[in-house]
């Protein structure tokens, strides 16, 4: 199909109209423009033509704004294709924006450029604003979901019990301290009784031992306040039953008015003769003797009152609590000694480890075990401690793991030792063992088998998670070991104790040259006791912010045991030189056999991955853009190109303006 050729239409520049001086020249020009077929060479006034062509600056660029005649291209459909280079700066900006409206692939914007009137354009502006607002609203929702899902992949889910435990402990402490009294119980006491005005109440002599039954009384005793009242002669109390008892163990034979029958319970109680005062008491239970209760502190008569109070036994009668406190006091007393002295006072390596094998081969006890002094358990020995030497099992099962026979010699134990056995901790080479927290107890007289499985945790650092990437913090108290959450909390707690008590907790390594709290220093012990009970506040108030390590090795353990040694065992045990039966009996009481092995030669890897990555973000973001504006990546490129064009046009315009000003200034100088 033939296309009609484009034609040139010459338009005179208004600034050149003054150059046409007469009608003859104009008529000659019109005839030159419209009809060339009637002209002969002799009919042409070449002087006029030359003057006209010279006036129109023949040979200059047709894109120059200063030319005398400018051209517009006529399109085949009758329209005019405008040359934007000859437009003014503002008109060029407007022209570019209008052309962008015609050509952009975004929805709605072309309707602005093609709007026939202002009302039509206003409607589309309103629709575009509504869609833009809706897009911004949903885009913000996308970003919020990014932050939320990034938080979901953090490591707080793995171990988040500290805050809950701290809140529970704190709540119990406040509830216990809210009451003015504890619970009452019957207690025998020496007393003096005087009957006046029909009253038979007696005055207790709790620290004196009664000399005869006639001055023996039973008092209602409160251990929390150490109050013993009221007191009556022993024969005036009667074992009976009561219908109601409150939280303080105060009872009544008759229920209160309005009490439902379902709420009435017959509780064993002890009532004085008139029945006005009753306390809850199991009839078969022993009655506390106050002279024994208050006389326990007499065992410490060789120390001062302040030192006695510093030990913290107070009015303890529970043997378990007394032993626990005694163990703590021993740790404090041992902390005053040097590390060398503590090592010498504890059990030596060869005295503890008698026999050992790993992977079916004998161990080198001197090289394979490293000594670590623990404040709670004394000398501990770490197997496979060298980080440059790798010991591996060729097969799963106890025969190819670590088998070690340990002799504890129970006759050397302190009176505070409640059990005889071994404390075992399974940990990575890089980690501190923490036997008091993560250890397992194995009894003597048994072969204890610990089957383990290894898990490797790989957590994401910021911005997806909140883990510690490499190494420990600068103030980590367990130098030379990898960072752990437990070590972080102990470091934070030690810093708190040093800051408030001016001494360190001897159960943890100290910081710098700070001395441990002294066992008989009441101020030190009271301060340490106070802030130890506030451990819940540390976790709950975020005073200690301890994240999980990004890379961690965890060992899960299954335990089984069997009686050891068997009667049929007919080999020499350790260093025993007695008869087989005597050696078996000795090792049954003082030794233990341990087996530590892999249950399977494979391990589990738990790795965190981003819950909401950049791909999903772009997909959701692009989906909302396409839904509300019809915008794609190419549309965004169009906007970028438009911005670049407008920027270049602005720079070019300002550069040209500067050139024109310099020319004008130069012309004015001449």
Give the per-residue pLDDT at 574. 63
Between the ranges 12-21, 173-182, 498-507, where is the mean pLDDT highest?
A: 498-507
d(CA 13, CA 24): 19
pLDDT of residue 162: 27
- In a domain? residue 316: no
Residue 278 lies in a domain: yes
The pLDDT of residue 442 is 93
Predicted pLDDT at 540: 47
In terms of domains, do 290 and 343 share one? no
| Mean of per-residue pLDDT scores for the chain | 76
**Across-strand partners of 448?**
561, 594
pLDDT of residue 45: 59
Last residue of a domain, one of 607, 629, 647: 607
Question: Are residues 566 and 433 located together in one domain of the fold?
Answer: yes
Reported confidence tier of residue 102, pLDDT bands at 50, 70, 90: confident
Average pLDDT over residues 180-204: 77
Distances from the Cα of 464 to the Cαs of 138, 228, 460, 482, 626, in angstroms?
Answer: 22, 61, 6, 22, 28
Domain count for the chain: 3
| pLDDT on residue 118 | 82
What is the average pLDDT across 101-109? 73
pLDDT tens-place string over residues 516-562: 998 888 888 888 888 877 765 554 445 678 888 999 899 999 999 99
Based on the domain organization, do 285 and 366 belong to the same domain?
Answer: no
Q: What is the pLDDT confidence band of residue 209, given thresholds at 50, 70 and 90?
A: confident
Residue-number span of the structural domain to which 65 is assigned: 8-86
CA separation for the pair 559, 449 (Å, rounded): 6
pTM above 0.95, yes or no: no
Q: What is the mean pLDDT of residues 236-261?
A: 85
pLDDT of residue 573: 66
Residue 380 has pLDDT above 90, yes or no: yes
Residue 657 lies in a domain: no
Residue 13 in contact with residue 64, Cβ under 8 Å? no
Q: Is residue 92 part of a domain?
A: no
Least confident of 27-36, 118-127, 228-237: 27-36
Overall average pLDDT of the 28-36 stretch = 47
Residue 7 pLDDT class (50, 70, 90 cuts)? very low
Is 240 a domain residue?
yes
| Average pLDDT of span 30-34 | 46
| pLDDT reading at 23 higher than 70 | no
The string of DSSP codes covering 521-580 is -HHHHHHHHHHHHTHHHHHHTTSS--PPBSEEEEEEEEEEEEESS-TT--S--TT--S-H
Confidence band for 44, pLDDT divided at 50, 70 and 90? low
Indicate the pLDDT class of residue 443, thresholds 50, 70 and 90: very high
The pLDDT > 90 percentage for the chain reads: 13
Same domain for 255 and 353, yes or no, is no
| Element holding 422 (H helix, E strand) | strand 421-424
Res 201 pLDDT > 80? no
Across 634-655, b (16+ Cβ under 10 Å) vs e yields ebeebeeebeeeeeeeeeeeee
What does the pLDDT read at residue 289? Answer: 85
Give the residue from 86, 116, 150 where a domain finishes.
Answer: 86
- The answer to whether 469 and 461 are in contact (CB under 8 A) is yes
217 and 275 share one domain: yes
What is the per-residue pLDDT for 572? 64
**Residues 188 and 283 occupy one common structural domain:** yes
Q: Are residues 376 and 442 in the same domain?
A: yes
**What pLDDT sits at residue 171?**
27
**pLDDT of amino acid 388:** 87
Q: Where does residue 283 rank: exposed (0-12), middle (13-18), buried (19+ CB within 10 A)?
A: exposed
Q: Which of 271, 266, 274, 263 lies closest to 242 in space, CA to CA?
A: 266
pLDDT in tens, 329-370: 888 888 888 888 888 888 889 889 999 999 989 999 999 999
Q: Lowest mean pLDDT of 32-41, 199-208, 238-247, 405-414, name the range.
A: 32-41
Task: Please report the pLDDT score of residue 311 as a whole number.
Answer: 81
Is 342 in the same domain as 289? no
Strands (E), 255-390: 267-272, 278-280, 288-289, 353-358, 361-362, 369-374, 378-383
Q: Which residues contact 582 (CB under 8 A, 6 or more apart)?
A: 576
The pLDDT assigned to 642 comes to 79
Domain assignment present for residue 362? The answer is yes
Q: Are residues 349 and 434 in the same domain?
A: yes
Instruction: Examine the pLDDT at 256 and tell me if it is beyond 90.
Output: no
**Is the pLDDT at 172 greater than 50, yes or no?**
no
Q: What is the mean pLDDT of residues 470-486?
A: 82
Query: How high is the pLDDT of residue 47?
Result: 56
Q: Classify residue 439: in a domain, yes or no.
A: yes
Whether residues 257 and 354 share a domain: the answer is no
Q: Where are the beta strands (DSSP E) in 149-302?
A: 184-193, 202-205, 216-222, 227-233, 237-242, 244-245, 250-252, 267-272, 278-280, 288-289
Q: Which two tokens stand for residue 533?
A: 């009970």
What token pair was written down for 433?
């063992």
What pLDDT digit, counting tens, does each position of 493-507 carry? 899 899 889 999 999
Assess if residue 230 is contained within a domain: yes
More confident site: 271 or 531: 271
Whole-number Å distance between alpha carbons of 161 and 418: 29
Q: Are 82 and 88 in contact (CB under 8 A)?
A: no
Give the count of beta carbons closer than 10 Å to the beta carbon of residue 7.
Answer: 7
Looking at the structure, tell me whether residues 349 and 449 fall in a common domain. yes
Q: Are residues 290 and 344 in the same domain?
A: no
Highest mean pLDDT of the ranges 262-271, 343-352, 581-590, 608-617: 343-352
CATH at 410: 2.60.470.10
Indicate the residue among 41, 67, 86 that finishes a domain.
86
The encoded tokens of residue 493 equal: 């707690």
CA atoms of 609 and 618, how far apart (whole Å): 18
């Amino acid at each position: 199909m033939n296309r009609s050729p484009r034609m040139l239409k010459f338009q005179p520049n208004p600034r050149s109209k003054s150059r046409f001086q007469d009608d003859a020249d104009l008529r000659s020009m019109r005839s030159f423009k419209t009809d060339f077929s009637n002209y002969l060479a002799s009919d042409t006034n070449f002087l006029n033509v030359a003057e006209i062509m010279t006036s129109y600056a023949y040979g200059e660029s047709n894109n120059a704004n200063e030319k005398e005649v400018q051209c517009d291209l006529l399109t085949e459909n009758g329209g005019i294709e405008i040359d934007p280079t000859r437009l003014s700066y503002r008109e060029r900006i407007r022209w570019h924006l209008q052309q962008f409206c015609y050509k952009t692939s975004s929805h709605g914007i072309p309707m602005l450029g093609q709007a026939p009137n202002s009302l039509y354009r206003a409607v589309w502006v309103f629709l575009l604003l509504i869609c833009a607002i809706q897009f911004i609203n949903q885009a913000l929702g996308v970003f919020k979901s990014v932050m939320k899902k990034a938080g979901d992949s953090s490591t707080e889910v793995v171990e988040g019990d500290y805050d809950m435990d701290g809140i529970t402990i704190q709540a119990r402490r406040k509830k216990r301290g809210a009451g003015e009294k504890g619970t009452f119980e019957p207690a025998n006491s020496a007393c003096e009784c005087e009957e006046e005005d029909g009253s038979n109440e007696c005055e207790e002599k709790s620290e004196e031992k009664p000399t005869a039954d006639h001055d023996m009384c039973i008092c209602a005793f409160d251990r929390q306040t150490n109050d013993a009242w009221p007191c009556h002669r022993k024969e005036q109390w009667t074992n009976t039953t009561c219908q109601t008892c409150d939280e303080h163990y105060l009872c009544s034979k008759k229920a209160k008015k309005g009490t439902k029958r379902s709420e009435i319970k017959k509780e064993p109680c002890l009532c004085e003769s008139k029945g006005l005062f009753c306390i809850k008491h199991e009839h078969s239970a022993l009655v506390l003797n106050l002279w024994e209760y208050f006389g326990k502190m007499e065992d410490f008569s060789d120390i001062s009152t302040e030192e006695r109070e510093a030990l913290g036994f107070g009015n303890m009668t529970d043997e378990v609590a007394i032993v626990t406190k005694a163990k703590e006091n021993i740790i404090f007393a041992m902390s005053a000694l040097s590390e060398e002295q503590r090592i010498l006072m504890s059990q030596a390596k060869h005295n503890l480890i008698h026999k050992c094998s790993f992977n079916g081969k004998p161990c080198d006890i001197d090289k394979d075990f490293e000594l670590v002094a623990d404040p709670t358990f004394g000398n501990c020995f770490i197997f496979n401690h060298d980080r440059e030497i790798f010991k591996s099992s060729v097969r799963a099962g106890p025969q190819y793991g670590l088998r070690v026979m340990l002799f504890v010699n129970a006759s050397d134990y302190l009176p505070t030792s409640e059990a005889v056995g071994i404390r075992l901790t399974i940990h990575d080479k890089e980690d501190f063992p923490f036997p008091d927290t993560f250890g397992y107890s194995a009894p003597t007289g048994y072969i204890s088998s610990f089957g383990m499985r290894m898990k490797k945790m790989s957590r994401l650092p910021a911005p997806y998670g909140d883990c510690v990437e490499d190494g420990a913090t600068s103030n980590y108290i367990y130098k030379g070991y990898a960072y752990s959450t437990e070590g972080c909390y102990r470091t934070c707690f030690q810093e708190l104790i040093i800051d408030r008590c001016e001494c360190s907790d001897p159960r943890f390594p100290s910081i710098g040259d700070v001395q441990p709290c002294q066992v008989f220093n009441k101020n030190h012990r009271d301060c340490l006791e106070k802030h130890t009970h506030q451990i819940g506040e540390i976790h709950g108030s975020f005073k200690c912010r301890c994240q999980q390590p990004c890379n961690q090795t965890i060992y899960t353990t299954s335990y089984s045991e069997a009686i050891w040694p068997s009667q049929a065992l007919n080999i020499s045990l350790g260093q025993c030189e007695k008869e087989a039966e005597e050696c078996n009996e000795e090792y049954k009481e003082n030794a233990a056999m341990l087996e530590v092995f892999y249950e399977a030669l494979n391990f589990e890897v738990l790795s965190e991955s981003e819950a909401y990555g950049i791909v999903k973000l772009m997909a959701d973001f692009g989906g909302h853009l396409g839904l509300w504006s019809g915008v794609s990546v190419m549309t965004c490129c169009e906007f970028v190109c438009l911005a670049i064009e407008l920027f270049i046009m602005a720079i070019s315009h300002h550069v040209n303006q500067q050139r024109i000003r310099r020319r004008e200034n130069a012309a004015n100088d001449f």
